[in-house]
Each structure stands twice: as structure tokens, then as C-alpha cells.
A and B are shown apart, each in its own frame.
Chain A
């Protein structure tokens, strides 16, 4: 469940209803947002459970929590993308149930999205103007026949759009295509577009994802400025971000650091050199270099959007690198097909598990052994020894397994090919602490039995305790590297990732 942290710079806070606190000046009026006992179920899974939250005017509230905690789901519930199973939401005293998304926008909620959703083929100015969807009520005929109403509307929208763009210094890019903007500007444009609808409540979903520390600070300042600017209009913001800060790299140690060989280090098994990977115009990996030695556990930690998953996908061959090299067992595999990499001994348990839901547990494991020409029943037995719960559910459809069981299945499936190197992407995601320690124990056993492991994790504490060597990624770069112990003792890492 997402943790809720409030920050209100200048008001005195008073309690309300025993459920929360709101600024004193708003004690008389209804809170802007009043959520009580919100629940939503997806199939058999309860994604949001008894979520209660009150937000008063001109507040900035933050929703934090690890991946899979339910933050975006709450946002989606607030904007009626999903219908809640239970509970109610009041916006300014009005029940939001049953209203369509655009009606909610009219009532005063505007949002940005975790994955940027701009109108890429339209100009920056037009993007903002689309946000001004209400408050102008001329009909279609006024526009078609260019009656005076059209001229008025166009003028007003033009002036207002430029005003809003000016808040974030985007005015001189007004005629550029939104899709061509640099990443940071795209995020800012999304916020401007949301502001254009004159919302009473602004929901910002991970607005700083993929930004470096200085960009993030700038953005936070902008948000505070917004809040202060619009004080007269009574605005509140709900912002979700599960990073608590950043680790500043020690320049000596960053960039291409190959790491110290601690216990477990043997031959160099995997060598990644100067990897650059793009998603469209956006550079997701910037000159990433590191190595993994035979027999060790190497871990990559970092916040959401840092590029960890992209790194694993590139190693497995699902993403192509623009430049750079990947070497496995001294062979250059940068341009080889994904299936040949599996044949060479690299397997992955991907982010989000990605088991085949329509296939049974047994069939999923068989798929893991797809390339094996020999009898793999022995390996299957081994997997069942590691994960006895899977044995009980052999004939069950993978889609009906719980999150933890799916994680076990994904790992078991990755084991079936007898990999030399196993890539694990966020095995702890969305799992209870008990299950997480169970899984991590199994990872340790796997490593003790000879499998080299490259682990990507958001749960930095556990990952650093487990791993021999580690690297910290931020906005596509490796900023720190060292042994697991070194990094867990580093004050920068402690502050940023270990809550210290």
C-alpha cells in the first residue's frame, strides 16, 4: 500500500475527522479531495485496500511507495479510469462516481501520466490548447463559419497558452512539435497542459521519473512556485514519487568502473561496454559499462526510470543498442538474436514475471527448457525442490497463481535452460516481506550452487546485503560501483536508497 507523506510549507495544520490533517484556513470548508475506504480488485487481486486520504486547499501532498504498491492505481481510480470496488471519492464535496474522465476534468481534476502521454504530432501550443477544453462553449457551427466567436476563442486560447507556457519557460518552443522536445520539456509540457484546464486538484504521476538530480530539484521548485502562484485559486497537488533522493557519485568511482573483485569473483563472464540505448529520441542508457564475474552475484540498484530494466533487456537481446558492446564468455553478442543468447547460457526472469498465463505451471517450465534437446526432467525436479509450492500446482494455469508463486515460476522457468548467467529483474516487486526473504534466500542458494546472477532491484537494502558487487544507476548512467558491502556503507547510498 502506498505510504502517504504530506508537506505543507506555510500553513498551520489541524486535525480533521480523526482521519488526517488539513490546513487551518480550510477547516471550515470541505477538503478538496476526500477519499474514504477506497478498494479495488482486479480479478482475485486486491490492488488498493481501504485507502483513505484527505487533501485541503493549496497543499502539496506526496504519495510514495515502491513499485507495485498501487500508487498509479490510486491515480487511475481518482480519474475514473478504473471503477472502485468499494469506497467513495469526493472532489470538492461532489461524488465522482460514474462520471467520465472528461467530466471529472470539468469538475476540476487534471493529471499527468507515468508514461508521458503528449499529443506528439501536434505543436506545443496546441497541446496546451487541448487542455483548455472547457470554458469555451461556442458550437461547431461558430467555428466552421468563422463567426466572431471563433476569433474570440482563438485569441483567448492563444494568449492563455503562451501565459502558461511561460511559467515553465517553454514559450519559445510554442511552435515545435511536442514529440520532438527533449525529455524534461515533455514532462513540463504535460504539466502545463494539465494546468490549462484550470484544475482545483492537480495529480502528478512520477513527474521526475528519468530526470537527474538537478533537473528534479528544478522541477520541484517549479511545482512549489505553481502552488504559490495559484494560491488565490486554491489548488492542491498530489504527487507520487517513490524516490527519496539521489546518490551523488564519487567522481573517482563512477563511469565505467569495473568494480573490485570481492568474494565469489572468478573469470569475467559478462562484459558490457559503453552501451547506449534509445527509446525513440530519448536516451535511456548512456555509456553504461560494467562486468559480471563468474560465480558472483552482481546487482544494479537505482530508482524507477534509471535504466536497469533496459540494461537487462539489452543483454537478453530484446532491445537493440545504438552503440556499445555486450560480451559473454569472451564472445561479442551485441548483434546476435535473443534466442542465440539463451542458447549460449543467458536466461532472464523478467520484470513483472511475465509467465504465460494460459499455459500450466508445467508447460511454462517446459518453455523454459525449449532449447534443450536432452531429458530435462531432472532439472524440473530440482526446480520443484527449490519451489515446493510449484509442485503442488503443476497442472494449474499460471495466470491463476498468486504474485509470489508467479515469481517462483518465472525464476524456475529461467532455471530450466541450465543457464550460466541468470538475469533477475525486480524479483521482490509487489511481494510481502516474508516472501521476499524466501526468494532472496533461494537466490543465494542458486548462486552457491554455481549460477552467476545479475540482479536488478529496487529493494536496495536486501540487494546490497546479498550481492558481492553492486552498481548504482541514475538516469541511464552508472554513478557508483563497488562491493555490496562498500555501497551499503556509503553515506550517499544510505541517504538516497537505504533511508539512512
Chain B
């Protein structure tokens, strides 16, 4: 096997952190300025905020589907728990201070996480299809609870006059921070344990991975960030009704994750962006939107089941490394082949 004689130059770790942080800060500042300047109209800035919220929903679902390898169908339930929690806290506490906003979002995530543990422990004893249905059932039960506890949630007519705390900065700073935390989790031995369970649960268990713990952990992390996204959603729309959190909502988020790539955070974000922005861009096609989604889902499953980006793990610094080493575009040739 030939190997390049030149050693592969790597970017030192501290520089990596610097580059990534700088990039994110720049994006945040640029976006904020853009929205403040008025170049973007109302409808467009609404979509930009929605993209952020759905991106976080998709990324959080990806933790349980793409990384853990399960198919929970009750994600809207966790979103709902987070949304109503944040809404109630923000309605109760006046003011727009950072503390109040943080409190609302944190509480949203935590309560959703509690539901995640409570639902996860029994549900994750089941596999595949059964897990899918039981989470669907739980999601529906949450929705029925919301309808039937009007004292707390405002019932079917809903909760109104929620303070709209979700500015561009709040939404995107939250999304970026959340994605960073999920990323650091996955790039640790805990993340490896979760991926191992997806790859081969029995081998993971036999290698010492406490699969019950990690399955519940992944599920709870997924629920936590879904709750946070729900909080952002509440702060964006100002009104919540149980009709916002149906099985269809869960399916919509699932479509984003599947299309983007099961196991790719970048894929989830990009797909969320496209699928949220598309209806705006193609307003004349709005009638056909759901039909197109459905067809897209079926076609992608048949021809590229791992989703458009597959398990691609985006890393700016890795791209820069490749560029430095001249390996940006893969050369033709086998890199060591099979044969027993």
C-alpha cells in the first residue's frame, strides 16, 4: 500500500477552537445586523427565525434517530412540554432580561427532559417498530393532556399573549450553543457509546457499555433540546394551541432529519432550512407542498436510505486541513481493498 511520504499537517487544537468560535460569532453578528437593518422584510425574517427553531428540533431528533438509531415518533410531545413551560414562566415573570429568558428556556428543557426519562425508561426496553408506536402513543397522550387540562394550558383554544422573547439573537445563540453541546457530547466516550449501540447493541453491551443508561441518556438529551426548541417556538409565535403539536408535527421534523441524513447534524440543519424556506419561496406551489414532501420521503428512502448527507459530519477545520494538505479533492484510486 502506498502512503504519502509527506506527513499530514494537522491544525493544532487551540487554533481549531479559535476558528470555530470566530466563525460562529461572525455569523451571529452578521445575521443580527442583517435583520436589524431592515433589508429583510417581515415575512422573510419570520422564516429566518423559524429555520432556527426547526433546525434545533431536527438536530435534537437526530440525536435519538441518527445517533442512537431508534425511531421515536412523539417528538412533538417534548416540544409541547417545553413550549408550555416556557410560556407559563414568561407570562408569570415580567421583563425581557436575559435571566428571565434563560430561566424559561432552561425550565422548558428540563421539564421536557424529565418527560424524556419517564417515557424513555419503559419505551427503550422495546425495539424498532414497537418503540416507534409507543412513543407515538405517548406523544398523543401529551396532546390529550394539554387539551384536557385547560386550567394550566388553556385547553383547546390555547394559551395567548405569550411575551415574544425569541429575537434573532436569542434563537440563534440558543441554537448554536445547543448544537455545540450536542457535538461535544457525541465526540466523547459517551457519544461513542451511543453510536456503538446504534451499530450493534449486543456487541456494545458485551464491550461494557451500559446500554440502558446510554439509550435513556440519548433519548433525554433529545427531549431536552426539543423542549428548548419548544420554548423558542412559544417565544416566537406568542400563541400556543394543542393543534400545533400533533403527530403531523412530529412527522414534519422526522422528514427533515431523514432527508438531511440520519446521523448528520449539518444535514438536519440544512434540511430544516430548505424545508422551512421552501414554502415561502414556492408560494404558488403551496398546495402541492405536502405531496412533494411525501414523495420526497419515499423516493429518498428507496434510493438513498441514509438520507441526502448520510452520516456526514461537517467540520470546517477538517476542510481547512484538507485544503492545506492538498487533499481537498479526492484522488482516484483504491485506498486498500478487501479480500479474505
Contact = CB atoms under 8 A, between A and B. Distances in A.
Contact of A119 (B185, B191, B196): B196
Interface string B160-199: 0000000000000000000001001100111111011011
A129 B205 CA distance: 14
Q: Which of B189, B205, B336, B339 has the most CB of A within 10 A?
A: B189
Contacts of B193: 130, 133
A130 B340 contact: no
A136 B339 contact: no
A51 B49 CA distance: 66
B119 interface: no
A282 interface: yes
Nearest to B202: A117
Nearest to B17: A146
A180 B334 CA distance: 12
A416 B185 CA distance: 60
Interface string A199-219: 000000000001110010000
Interface in A100-143: 100-102, 105-106, 110-111, 113, 117-122, 126, 129-134, 136, 140, 143
Interface stretch (B139-147, B207-215, B295-303): B207-215
B37 interface: no
B199 A122 contact: yes
A119 B200 contact: yes
Given A133-B209, A136-B189, A113 B203 contact: yes
A130 B206 contact: no
Given A129-B192, A130-B196, A130-B209, A145 B184 contact: yes
Interface in A272-297: 281-283
Contacts of A211: 340
A345 interface: no
> Among B195, B199, B204, B211, which residue has the most Cβ atoms of chain A within 10 A?
B199
Contacts of A131: 207-208
B129 interface: no
Given A102-B209, A119-B195, A154 B188 contact: yes
B203 A144 contact: no
Given A100-B205, A110-B206, A131-B208, A121 B311 contact: yes
Contacts of A126: 192, 195
Nearest to B201: A117
A168 interface: no
B239 interface: no
Contacts of A281: 338
Contacts of A310: none
Given A121-B199, A282-B338, A157 B189 contact: yes
A24 B199 CA distance: 43
A102 B208 contact: yes
Contacts of A81: 202
A153 B203 contact: no
A182 interface: yes
A265 interface: no
A182 B189 contact: no
Contacts of A121: 195, 198-199, 311
A281 B184 CA distance: 33
Nearest to A203: B206
Contacts of B202: 81, 101, 113, 117
A197 B185 CA distance: 22
Interface of B: 3, 181, 184-185, 188-193, 195-196, 198-200, 202-211, 217, 311, 336-340
19 contacts: A100-B205, A102-B206, A110-B206, A111-B206, A113-B202, A118-B199, A119-B196, A119-B200, A119-B204, A122-B195, A126-B192, A130-B193, A133-B208, A133-B209, A143-B189, A153-B188, A153-B189, A157-B189, A210-B340
